[in-house]
Amino acid sequence: MHDLTIVASHTVYSAIVGSRAYGLSGPQSDTDRRGVFQAPTGSYWHLDKPPTHVDGPLPEQFFWELERACSLALAANPTVLECLWSPLVESVSEVGRDLLAIRGAFLSRRTAVTYGDYARSQLAKLRSVRARTGEVRWKQAMHMARLLRAGAHVLRTGEVLVDVSPWREELLAIRRGELSWESFGELAASLEADLGTAAATTTLPEEPDRATVDAFLVEARRRDLSSTAGGVRAPGGAPVVSIAPPTRAADVPEWADDVVGELPYPVVFATVSGAHLYGFASVDSDLDLRSCHVLPLDEVVGLHTGPDTLQVGGERGGVELDVVSQELAKFVRLLLKPNGYVLEQLLSPLVVRTSPLHEELTALSRHCLTSEHARHYLGFAAGQWQLFQRTGELKPALYTLRVLHTGIHLMRTGELQADLRVLASLPYLPDLIEAKKAGEHRLLPEGLVSPERLAADVQALTATLESARDASHLPAAPSAGKALDALLIRTRLGHG
């Protein structure tokens, strides 16, 4: 399994660390992420073992495998301990919650040694650089002071100190070089002495609770093995992709899965898109089903290849249908482009059918989000706005507002949210959404919002999306290409 895939599919805990977690961030601060993934138990049976850590795929991102994280935490590694105690948790699974529940077992009097050694190492480097160049690396000096304070805190309280906001001004003054070298030396000596006092009076045990950590790790491995024990493997150990039984969201008609089941190829996932997903379906709206299917190997490599796209219309239960399914390879190529449609289809909460492969694609999709997706939303908004100006219909007006809101939210948060009801920032939007329920092609109702006000708001939202794009922390390009390629090849072999 590719490193990016194993992180994306098996993350049990992820948190923001560094200056943002410390309470020391500024406008230009990076967002540092650290986390823990659990490699599948069966992967240890192969000659090539899973990685103990993975650097990336996002900038400033680093993950440890579960056993490695436990080993480092037992050794009182400050970096791992700060990750486990970070106040800024981004994701946590059941195994991750169990890990956090036992994190006290990692703590012992060793923290006096590790935090003290880290701080003294920083101080030695500071003195060496100053002796050679006459310069002081004040950022390094700040972190030395922070580590000494954090070490004394854990020894006194049994809790790892991450947020050092109470000492923010002192620490930032050090980073800005506002202390003389002599004053800093006096502060360092005082903090080191305080660490020694805390070590002498701590109630922490001499050694960490290895038995508790070992029992947790064994149980996590056992549960993973139990959950995959019935899986079938293709020659060479590659897992065969299985299609799970269909699941159905509450807002999806029961017969929707029957429609998907009539497609001629195995379905990776099928979801509802369109107005139902966007939160403003009308009584006469089509039901837009979007799907991804897998061709058998002989229809990929043979003379007669299968369809990249399947499209089905018709009617079911008095509802017009629009069913579109993309073959896995085409879907992956679209996913790697700044195409908001395929991301919305993949991540739609209105699920008709799913599978383990759907879960893998969903996990990797967060490494496909880029600042370039703003271009998709800006372009679609412009097209829908032109359509509204020609027709005066409510539908393209709502589509314009929806994509602008979705794009702004994505650029600011890295989260894809397609439901306009959730994102609505304009006072008249709930009334427009309610009016849309009466009919798919009705005109913009009078009295809810003037065309002039609507035009001004669209212009303002467009400018906001452009600004959000320029300020976004999202990468300019996806980082999941290799992982998706490996997933595609594995799937092909499994469907041979």
Residue 425 has pLDDT above 90, yes or no: no
pLDDT at 1 over 70: no
Angle of helix 181-201 versus helix 138-157 axis, rounded to 10: 20
Quote the pLDDT of residue 2. 52
- Domains of the chain, residue spans: 3-107+208-223, 110-201, 256-365, 373-471
Distance (Å, rounded) from C-alpha 368 to C-alpha 343? 9
Q: Check if the beta carbon of residue 5 is closer than 8 Å to that of residue 360.
A: yes
**What's the pLDDT score for residue 420?**
93
Q: Say what the pLDDT of residue 58 is.
A: 67
Number of H helices, E strands in the chain: 22, 11
- Other Cβ atoms within 10 Å of 166 Cβ, number: 11
Residue 116, token pair as written in the block: 């003290």
Same fold, 3-107+208-223 and 256-365: yes
Average confidence score pLDDT of the chain:
87
The mean-pLDDT minimum among 125-129, 277-281, 435-439, 468-472 falls in 435-439
Q: Which CATH class is domain 3-107+208-223?
A: alpha beta
**Which of these, 189, 17, 160, 164, lies nearest to 77 by C-alpha position?**
160
| Average pLDDT for 207-233 | 77
Dist CA 187 CA 193 (whole Å): 10
Q: How many angstroms from the chain centroid is the CA of residue 182?
A: 45
Q: Has residue 232 got a pLDDT over 60?
A: no
Total Cβ atoms within 10 A of residue 301: 11
What's the pLDDT at 333? 94
Give the residue-averaged pLDDT of 174-200.
90
pLDDT band at 495 (very low <50, low <70, confident <90, very high): low
Asked if residues 104 and 28 have their Cβ atoms less than 8 Å apart, the reply is no
Q: pLDDT-based confidence at 271, cuts 50/70/90?
A: very high
Q: What is the per-residue pLDDT for 440?
A: 75
Position 361 pLDDT exceeds 60: yes
DSSP 443: B
pLDDT at 247 over 70: no
Instruction: Report how far residue 287's alpha carbon sits from residue 40's, in angstroms, rounded to the nearest whole number.
Output: 38
Q: How sure is the predictor about 227, in pLDDT bands with cuts at 50, 70 and 90?
A: low
Question: Six-digit token pair at 125?
Answer: 């480097």
Q: What does the pLDDT average to over 49-66?
A: 85
Is 277 within 8 Å of 350 (Cβ atoms)? yes
Task: List the one residue out of 440, 380, 430 whose CA is nearest residue 410.
Answer: 380
pLDDT band for position 100 (cuts 50, 70, 90): very high
Distance CA(71)–CA(269), nearest Å, equals 38
Vertex 346, ends 344 and 347: CA angle to 5°? 65
Distance of CA 452 to the CA centre of its chain: 39
| Res. 45: pLDDT tops 80 | no
Tokens of 364: 């990797």
CATH superfamily of 256-365: Beta Polymerase, domain 2 (3.30.460.10)
The candidate with the shortest Cα–Cα distance to 251, out of 217, 219, 274, 225, is 274
Distance CA 416, CA 340 (A): 9
Separation of alpha carbons 19 and 468, rounded Å: 22
What is the model's pLDDT at position 212? 94
| Cβ pair 102, 216 in contact under 8 A | yes
Taken in order 196, 202, 206, 207, is the CA torsion positive or negative? negative
Give the 3-state secondary structure of residue 338.
coil
Using CB atoms within 10 Å of the CB of residue 354, give its burial: 0 to 12 exposed, 13 to 18 middle, 19+ buried. Answer: buried
* pTM of this structure: 0.56
pLDDT at 56 exceeding the cut of 80:
no
